[in-house]
Amino acid sequence: MSLLKEVILQLFFALTPFVLYNIYYRDKLQNYSRTFILITSSISLFLAMTFASSVVDGIIFDIRYVILFFGLVYGGMQTALILVLEFVLYRCYLGGEGMGVALLMLVCTFLLSVVIYKLYQKTHRKTLYTFLAGILFSLVALGLTYLFFPAYVKQHLAYHVFVIPFQNSVGIWLLMSLFSKAIADKELFIIHAQNEKIQAMSHVAASLAHEVRNPLTAVKGFLRLMQEGPNEPYKTEQYIKISLDEIQRTESILTEYLSISKPLQERHEPINVSEQLHVIQEVMLPFANMHNVELDVQIFDTPVTIIANPDEIKQVLVNFVKNSIEACADVPNGRVMLSILIEKGNAILLIGDNGIGMDEGQIQRLGSIYFSTKSSGTGLGLTYSYHVIHSIGGTIQVTSEPFIGTKFTITFPCLAQEKVEANLTA
């Protein structure tokens, strides 16, 4: 039973990079980096060697070769060499009569790992090569151990013939297959989330084109009036003022639209949510008008400051407002309401509509990947929005009734004014 516990513990250590990946990158719109592979593999290697499996003092067996191969595949040669150095230093520190054989095994398995890695990159049968790597690593360990400690191997033959190959082959299969699936799913999510953003902004752009055309038509008309009455300086001055106001408003709308549609950047800073609501109102008002929906935005007079990525918050607001407007598109007197307030040190954003609403089952699935209440939707817009809100410590509550409407209550940790000033002067 003790040996079984040790094997299960080693398999858990082998899965450390996979577990940490799902924790660290869960709310991020990016995939793994080589630095992440190096850090997690180093942690995994250290734990595996510290709590290694052993039947005789001084001769230890762990999941080290699995971790080394994983680091080579996903982190590259530099990562693998750093892991080799970590192993050598720590194994020398641990000592024991099996230390010399362990270092010789490392050299052999590392060279073997490089060969299998090159074959692994070229083949589509990655599962086969993964299992093959685990078996070969076990055979190298068995052969060299028998060469130097034949009596020990004969005494514990079942351990070396069954336990070690099982530990290595299952460990490497679990780690490689699960991690590969996780990064493939993340890559697919990133691509679809980016496409969802492009699709959302293209819908908004269609309404903006109509909205921009109106002031341009007005300016064109005033220019003609000035051309027809050049000797009326008072009217000309009035026409010029109106035309400049229309052009300024058009420029403001386009600038705010471009600020939202630009690529997202990794940054967190104090942002005033009230100002963000004003931007969203300017950009989304044409979209609401095109769907015959009233957009009512109540902006808080006092600055409501949170720490977040301004690009992400704008995109989140666009996603929620766009969904609310579309929910009201087929409803008479459709109305979308946005407001914000401060309560118990939190910024509370309220987004409500009198649209088609949702039932309890739909509410429970909101934010789940690929779930959408729209026939042509993917649900990734809200999935991304939920991730952004949760990543900055926010929460989302939804109340809705079919054919009555929906209300989102989004709570953010609010930054106190003195902290805002400290951040701005830092």
Domain with residue 332: its CATH number is 3.30.565.10
When comparing pLDDT for 146 and 256, which is higher? 146
Last residue of a domain, one of 193, 223, 257: 193
Question: Are 186 and 75 part of one and the same domain?
Answer: yes
Mean pLDDT throughout 253-263?
60
Which ranges of 95-163 does DSSP label H, i.e. alpha helix?
Answer: 99-122, 126-148, 150-155, 157-158
Question: Are 285 and 150 part of one and the same domain?
Answer: no
Residue 55 main-chain phi, psi, to 5 deg:
-110, -10
Does some domain include residue 257? no
**CA dist., res. 355 & res. 366, Å (int):** 16
When comparing pLDDT for 223 and 178, which is higher? 178
Does some domain include residue 412? yes
CB 158 within 8 A of CB 342: no
| pLDDT value, residue 244 | 77
Q: Please name the helix (run of DSSP H) or strand (run of DSSP E) that holds residue 296, with its range, or none.
A: strand 294-298
When comparing pLDDT for 102 and 377, which is higher? 102
Does some domain include residue 225? no
Question: Are 185 and 271 part of one and the same domain?
Answer: no
> Structural domain tally of the chain?
2
Question: Are 399 and 275 part of one and the same domain?
Answer: yes
Does some domain include residue 151? yes
Last residue of a domain, one of 135, 169, 193: 193
- Dihedral angle of Cα 366, 369, 374, 376, to the nearest 10 degrees: 170
Question: Are 279 and 170 part of one and the same domain?
Answer: no
Does some domain include residue 361? yes
**CA dist., res. 367 & res. 350, Å (int):** 17
At 1-53, the pLDDT tens digits run: 577 888 889 999 999 999 999 888 876 767 889 999 999 999 999 999 998 87
Q: Is 308 exposed, middle or buried (0-12, 13-18, 19+ CB in 10 A)?
A: buried
Does some domain include residue 256? no
Question: Are 188 and 299 part of one and the same domain?
Answer: no
Last residue of a domain, one of 162, 193, 224: 193
Contacts of 388 (CB under 8 A, 6+ apart): 27, 308, 309, 312, 313, 315, 316
| pLDDT value, residue 310 | 82
Does some domain include residue 215? no
Question: Are 176 and 320 part of one and the same domain?
Answer: no
Q: Which two tokens stand for residue 352?
A: 């409500």
Q: Give this prediction's pTM.
A: 0.60
Question: Are 159 and 45 part of one and the same domain?
Answer: yes
| pLDDT value, residue 354 | 93
Does some domain include residue 212? no
Question: Are 152 and 19 part of one and the same domain?
Answer: yes
| pLDDT value, residue 420 | 47
| pLDDT value, residue 135 | 92
Question: Are 185 and 274 part of one and the same domain?
Answer: no
When comparing pLDDT for 62 and 213, which is higher? 62
Residue 409 main-chain phi, psi, to 5 deg:
-115, 110
User: What domain range includes position 34?
Assistant: 2-193
